[in-house]
Amino acid sequence: MKHKIYLCLFLILVVFSGRAQIGGETTYQFLELTNSARVAALGGTQIALTDSSDLNLPFHNPALLDKGMHNHVLANYVNYFADINFGYASYARHFNGIGNFALGVHYINYGDFKEASEQGELTGIYFNAAEYAVNLIYSDRYGRLSYGINLKPVFSNFESYRSFGLAADLGVNYSSKDNLTHVALVARNMGTQVTTYYQDGNREPIPLNVQAGISTRLKYAPLIFSLTMQHLNNWDLAWSESEKEQTLESWYVRKESFTKQVMRHVVLGAEILPSDNFVIRAGYNYQRRQELKFDERLSTVGFSMGFGLKINRFRFDFATSRFHLAGSSNLFSLAINLNQRF
C-alpha cells in the first residue's frame, strides 16, 4: 500500500519539470473546461473539496472519489457561447477491499459548419466538430491520505481531421483529524497525442496543469472557504510561449508585480450553507478576469456564483460564470443517488 502512495507522489512531483503550456498553445483544450456547476460557481477549479455526495469532484481530483459515491450517477450540461455546448456524465461504484471506481464521458460539441471552397463559395455540405474524453477513475485511501488516478483516452474530430490521445490525472488529498481542513495536489492532463490530425504531422502538447489546493470549513459557522493554485508548472501566465521567445530578441520587456503574478494562479471560492439541503456559492478567478476584461469597463468578468439544492435522492446545482462582457456561461448539474428507493 505504501509503495502505491509513494509512486503517486513521485509521478506528481516529476511533472514540475515539464515544459509549461497555457491556453491556445496546446491541443485538446476542452480538457480544461469545467463542466461541474458547483466547481464553476467556485471560480472554475477547486481540488480540495470533499463531499461524498458530489460525483463531480473526482473529475478535478481523482483522489476525491469516495466510497459514499457508490451507485451515484450524474449528468452535466453547459450552455456555452456561439452554439457550443459541452457536458459530462458519470457513474461510480465501490468494491470492498479494492477501492472506488467511476466511469465518465466528457464531450464538447462545436456545432454545425457550412463547407466552403478556397474562394469562399458555399458547397452546400455541412460538417461538425466535436471532441470526447472517457474518464476511467480509481481511488483508495491510506489513513487520512486518499489518492487516485484518472485515465483519459481522448478522441477529437474536426471535419475530416481526427486525432487520438491519452491523458491521465494523478491526485492526492490529505484530511485533518477533525476533517474540517483538506489539502490536495493534482497533476492534470499528463500525456500526449497518439495520432495527429493529418499524416506525418507533429505531435502537439496537451494542457498539462499542476495544481495545489486547500479547503476549510469553519467549526462554528456554516461557511466553507477554498483556494486552488493552478498552472504551477508555468509561473508567468501573463505571456504566451511565443511572446516569451519574441521578447528575448527585443528590447521591450513587460513587467508585472509579484503580487499580480501570484494572483494569476489563484482561484478563490466560498460556500454558505443555510441548511443541509441548500447551498449558496461564489468564486473569483483573477487570471480569467485579466485575460478577458475591457479596461474601459471591468464589470464582473472573472466572478461566478451559483447554488445547490438537495431533494431526497436528487441533487441539483446551477452556476453562472462571467467570462466576458458579451455574456455569461450557464451550467447545470443533476445527480441521483440510486441507493435510495423512489
Considering the chain, what is the average pLDDT of its residues?
Answer: 86
Please report, for residues 56, 131, 302, the alpha-carbon distance to residue 52 in angstroms, rounded to integers and kept in the order given: 10, 29, 28
Q: What pLDDT, on a 0 to 100 scale, did the predictor assign at position 325? A: 61
Phi first, then psi, for residue 7 (nearest 5°) are -65, -45
Q: What pLDDT, on a 0 to 100 scale, did the predictor assign at position 324? A: 64
The number of distinct structural domains making up the chain is 1
Q: Cα separation of 323 and 335, whole Å?
A: 26
pLDDT under 50: residue ranges of the chain: 1-21, 244, 247-253
Tell me, yes or no, whether 103 lies in a domain: yes
If you ran DSSP here, which 8-state letter would residue 20 be given? P
Phi first, then psi, for residue 263 (nearest 5°) are -65, -25
Q: What pLDDT, on a 0 to 100 scale, did the predictor assign at position 249? A: 47
Q: pLDDT tens-digit profile of 75-131?
A: 999 988 778 899 999 999 999 999 999 999 999 999 888 888 888 888 888 888 999
| Residue 170 C-beta-side C-alpha neighbours within 13 Å | 18
Tell me, yes or no, whether 342 lies in a domain: no
Among candidate residues 141, 57, 67, the one with its CA nearest the CA of residue 104: 57
Among candidate residues 98, 101, 103, the one with its CA nearest the CA of residue 88: 103
Tell me which residue range forms the domain holding 311.
2-337
Tell me, yes or no, whether 58 lies in a domain: yes
| E strand spans, 19-84 | 72-79
CATH classification at residue 315: 2.40.160
Tell me, yes or no, whether 223 lies in a domain: yes
Q: pLDDT tens-digit profile of 154-193?
A: 999 998 899 999 999 999 999 999 999 999 999 999 999 9
**8 Å CB contact between 263 and 291:** no
> For residue 311, how far is the Cα from the chain centroid?
26
57 torsion bin: left (phi>0), alpha (psi -120 to 50), beta (else):
alpha
Q: What pLDDT, on a 0 to 100 scale, did the predictor assign at position 124? A: 83
